[in-house]
Amino acid sequence: MTTHPIGIFDSGIGGLTVLKEIRRQIPGENLIYFGDEARFPYGIKSAGTVRRFSGEVAEYLMRQGIKMLVVACNTATAAALNSLREDLPIPVIGVLMPGAYAAARATKTGRVGVIGTEGTISSGVYSKLIKNIRPGTEISALPCPLFVPLVEEGRLSGEIASLVAKEYLAPLKGRKIDTLVLGCTHYPLLKPVIGSVMGPSVTLIDSADETAREVKRVLTKNGLLNPGGEKKSRSLPTGFIRYCVTDAPERFKTIGERFLGYDIPEVEKAEL
């Protein structure tokens, strides 16, 4: 079982930010990345629909023999993490809890902002988790739907990105937050522009790094860590990566390489 792959799933390309971090922290693990491009985006769909889609993707990945499922999508984590945990016989990790812990640790004033898709923000899950970990925290949560297409179009800086960020983030500026959770897989790519609008006194929380740490911790606890998976200095990754999408593999390859900063040799078209 230790050499079986980890399944990493997102509505599209955004979860590659999580894959990249897992690859960096445990480079010997074999990975299967699944992007549900045919049904992207999840962020504007109802929780029931996102749950159904997530269940279908999980079934597909189980058929590929995965030893762990990482739901590398904030919207899918908010809607489907509990049901996936009930249904699957393997460990299931989401991206919300690691981000919530990081935010609770980072805030000094107890005033935290959360931005994400409409689905994630309306679920209220981030607020609930952060308040459970750090009672009394004041949360200001906002959906920022235009950030996703901006990233998909590669508009990570410049006038348009900066105007959209200023417009969206203006309400948070007045709330005196000291920590902002980037509660969507795409937003870490907009860190420079979000950071320049919010200013240096606001810590930006990117859950990819925390999630990868959690993946390693849970694999270790369950005796599932691939023996080749420990990072040795200067060593190159030894695990394989398979990329599967439900539509438009060429587009995934082009934008995915921008997310990862390295080549994606092949993208498979998956039938659910």
Q: Which residues are catalytic?
A: 73, 184
Distances in Å between the alpha carbon of 101 and those of 166, 219, 237?
27, 19, 28
C-beta of 44 vs 170, nearer to ligand DGL = 44
When asked if residue 179 is in the footprint of ligand DGL (CB under 6 A), the reply is no
> Where does 111-158 have alpha helices with state H?
118-123, 125-133, 147-152
Q: What is the C-alpha separation between 176 and 26, in angstroms, rounded?
A: 37
Select the residue interacting with ligand DGL from 14, 94, 113, 229 (CB under 6 A). Answer: 14
- Pattern 63-102, binding to ligand DGL, x per CB under 6 A? ----------xxx---------------------------
Interacting stretch for ligand DGL, rule CB under 6 A, among 100-108, 184-192, 245-253, 264-272? 184-192
Structure tokens at 79: 């809607």
Structure tokens at 30: 């074999």
Please, which residues have CB within 8 angstroms of residue 68's CB and are 6 or more apart in sequence? 6, 7, 90, 91, 92, 93, 215, 218, 219, 224
Q: How far is the CB of 5 from ligand DGL (least distance, A)?
A: 21
- Pattern 136-165, binding to ligand DGL, x per CB under 6 A? ------------x-----------------
Interacting stretch for ligand DGL, rule CB under 6 A, among 23-31, 54-62, 86-94, 182-190? 182-190
Q: How far apart are the first and last CA of the chain?
A: 24
The residues of the shown chain that bind ligand DGL, judged by CB under 6 A, are 10-12, 14, 40-43, 73-75, 116-117, 120, 148, 184-186
